[in-house]
Amino acid sequence: MKKIIIILSLIFIFIFSNFNQPVINLIDNPYIISDKISIIKDTKDIKPFIEVSTASSYTIDVDMKYVQTHKKGIYNALVTLNTPDKIHHKIIQVEVLDKIMYLTFDDGPSYNTIKILEILDKYDIKATFFVTAENKNYKYLIKEAHLKGHTIGLHTYTHDYSYIYSSKENYFRDLNQIDEYVEDILGIKTPYIRFPGGSSNTISKKYSKGIMSLLSKEIQAKGYQYYDWNLSSSDAEKPLMKKEDIIKSSVSKTYNGNNDYIILLMHDTSSKTTTVEALPEIIEYYLNKGYTFKPIDKTSFIYHQKIHN
């Protein structure tokens, strides 16, 4: 009898020790918008990632008891929203990711965008497109990419270095143009930016000394964020790089030595056929290594190159 009780107790402990997540139903709360957020490993404060909709002043508390921020997984967290008249609760899911790949495509949309979208669909992964207005025939693909869940970021309207980097005024004139162009297509604004040539470009020196230092600060003050790459596919090194060379560059070490978070630079222009050809192998390489592919969003890893001008 004693034995049976001990065995039953052990079974009981075993079963209930696995219920380490709070057993509370999701309370649908209109003031706490987020249902699920994704954070990168070891994020200390997840509050900035929780979307809230309320006109009154508020504070947020998150009970992180069941979230292991150092370990990949999906956890539950209790969010408490305090407004002057009420306290709101909601259980949200917190996805903790470790190795993340952000595929980014500059200069599109183009003749190749549809092929890129098909490949991304095939692997059911999301990416980011930093667009221009150079190819208006394909502008509908900005909408299509957005509807498929990819992130649309702003690259430039003209892609004319001599114009955009000749003065702060010209840069922002160009940025506003692409901003309005994209807003007109999507009906929403996008805060994500990729500087032509990256923030470390030195070509801008030719047109205006110190402009990258100035712009990198000003765009953040205006509510945008810029995303450089920490790995290049090298597909812009020549008009048409060999597929094998693009793959080789894309699976190399990152510039900052941290291969847990990769922002890979690729190009989406009508002539870059080998980028499209290389894409499936690059995706498969990282899938096999356990990477999660994410589109850039407010919770993303941010990489800024060193500014040289």
* Site residues, Zn ion (CB under 5 A): 106-107, 196
**Of 154, 164, 160, the residue nearest 185 (C-alpha):** 154
**Closer of 106 and 228 to Zn ion (Cβ):** 106
**Closer of 92 and 178 to Zn ion (Cβ):** 178
Cis peptide before 84 (omega within 30 of 0): no
Q: How far is the CB of 197 from Zn ion (least distance, A)?
A: 7
Q: How far is the CB of 142 from Zn ion (least distance, A)?
A: 15
Phi first, then psi: give them for residue 183, nearest 5 degrees: -65, -35
CA–CA distance, 193 with 198 (Å, rounded to integer): 10
Q: How far is the CB of 155 from Zn ion (least distance, A)?
A: 6
Phi-psi region of 270 (alpha: psi -120 to 50; beta: other; left: phi over 0): alpha
**Closer of 129 and 286 to Zn ion (Cβ):** 129
Q: How far is the CB of 52 from Zn ion (least distance, A)?
A: 35
Q: How far is the CB of 194 from Zn ion (least distance, A)?
A: 7
**Closer of 106 and 179 to Zn ion (Cβ):** 106
CA–CA distance, 167 with 90 (Å, rounded to integer): 48
Partners of residue 89 on adjacent β-strands: 80
**Closer of 88 and 272 to Zn ion (Cβ):** 272
Q: How far is the CB of 91 from Zn ion (least distance, A)?
A: 42
**Closer of 107 and 228 to Zn ion (Cβ):** 107
Residue type, 6: I
